[in-house]
Chain A
Amino acid sequence: MSYQEKRIIFTIVTGILILGAYCIYAYKKFQSSAVNTEDIKFWAGSILVFVVIGIVVNIVNQIIFHILIAISIAVEKKIRNENCDEKEIEESIKNGMVTDEMDQLIELKSMKTGFFVSGIGFLLGLVLLVLNYSPIIMINLMFIFFLIGSLLEGFVQLYYYRKGI
């Protein structure tokens, strides 16, 4: 499995965790009577907090992932050639994490899927509003579709890496 595929799987797992955490949080809030679940300000605040948590978790995860990958490449290089120096190891790490034109093309193609799913969520939200559903449903639906879109983006990337582009 290549560096890019590992990185995408790491991102997907993070995305699933955030989506799961938000779904549990929203479900518990709807079940409990501690807060007024019709308060749109409360939901907007909750979503904003989850977006910030998502960004922070993603950054931390990427840092941890890159450290782990660099360690694994260095260990592999040292096992293969015990006499290699630091410069060679550095070079191997650099070569192992190259992002090139194929990666960029796959990223662009998968982003299309992400935007498409997010767009469907937005349209569905509008339809529900027209059908007199609560704006709370709309805002939650949009956020969940946004998260699903970013997850799908990762799966599409994995698909293109496996199948070719």
Chain B
Amino acid sequence: MAKKLKITNNIRKLRFFADEMTQQQLAEKTGASRQTIVAVEGGKYSPSLELAFCIADAFGVAIGEVFEYEVEG
């Protein structure tokens, strides 16, 4: 049986270090809506691989620096 993963992200921190990039700016860079970025940042939505790579690309870092996971239970 597949393990349940808890996915967390560092988007808030990365936005801060990217000259306090706004959620709207990140949304425009990734082609997603601001609402999706808000949901991803708040951990309410796990993005597709494509969007996850786009987010990492917007910050110029590897995907592993944006998203992390831990095994639940």
Chain A residues within CB distance 8 Å of chain B: 2-4, 95, 98-103, 161, 163-165
Contacts and interface: CB of A to CB of B under 8 A. Distances in A.
A4 B35 contact: yes
Nearest to B51: A101
Given A95-B24, A163-B44, A164-B44, A101 B35 contact: no
Nearest to A163: B44
A101 B42 contact: no
B44 A103 contact: no
Interface of B: 24, 27-28, 31-36, 39, 42-45, 47-48, 50-51
A165 B43 CA distance: 9
Contacts of A103: 33, 36
Contact of A98 (B31, B47, B51): B31
25 contacts: A2-B33, A2-B35, A3-B33, A3-B35, A95-B24, A95-B28, A98-B31, A98-B33, A100-B31, A100-B33, A100-B36, A100-B51, A101-B32, A101-B48, A101-B50, A102-B32, A102-B33, A102-B39, A102-B47, A103-B33, A103-B36, A164-B39, A164-B42, A164-B43, A164-B44
Nearest to A164: B44
Chain A CB within 10 Å, residue with most, of B24, B45, B47, B50: B45
B65 to A, nearest CB: 22
A123 B47 CA distance: 37
Chain B CB within 10 Å, residue with most, of A95, A98, A99, A102: A102
Nearest to B24: A95
A101 B33 CA distance: 9
A36 B27 CA distance: 58
Contacts of A101: 32, 36, 47-48, 50-51
Contacts of A100: 31-33, 36, 51
Given A4-B33, A164-B39, 17 more contacts: A2-B34, A3-B33, A3-B35, A95-B24, A95-B28, A100-B36, A100-B51, A101-B50, A101-B51, A102-B33, A102-B47, A103-B36, A163-B44, A164-B42, A164-B45, A165-B39, A165-B45
Given A95-B24, A95-B27, A95-B28, A102 B42 contact: no
